[in-house]
Amino acid sequence: QQPVQSPQAVILREGEDAVINCSSSKALYSVHWYRQKHGEAPVFLMILLKGGEQKGHEKISASFNEKKQQSSLYLTASQLSYSGTYFCGTEERGSNYKLTFGKGTLLTVNP
């Protein structure tokens, strides 16, 4: 079951914050976040394994609500380099080794 990401696209000015949400109808074991720039391979940002746990990566952090099967990616004080498409990948309980990605959120950061 493909997770649902929202919003589909967001445009920011440098320095602004953004939140990208990822929701699944299935019980999840883990949530993975990746960023892909145009013409490049996806790059790993972080993995969340426990409910409510937050992970950080520079000014990018994320949370995982295990009970709601939801994860959110927080980008604070955005930089031009944050532009790209963000994908969440979910691993369902009992379906190990299979990462199902959402359709992505296109983030554009303008000067």
In the complex, which residues of this chain contact other proteins (CB under 8 A)? Answer: 2, 29-30, 32, 34, 40-44, 47, 49, 87, 89, 91, 95-104
Least separation in angstroms between residue 61's CB and other proteins is: 17
Strand 28-36 vs strand 43-48: parallel, antiparallel, or unpaired?
antiparallel
**CB 32 within 8 Å of CB 91:** yes
Nearer to other proteins, 8 or 79 (CB): 8
40 versus 67: smaller Cβ distance to other proteins: 40
| Closest distance to other proteins from the beta carbon of 42 (Å) | 5
- Collapsing DSSP states into helix, strand and coil, what is residue 82? helix
Helix (H), strand (E) counts: the chain = 0, 11
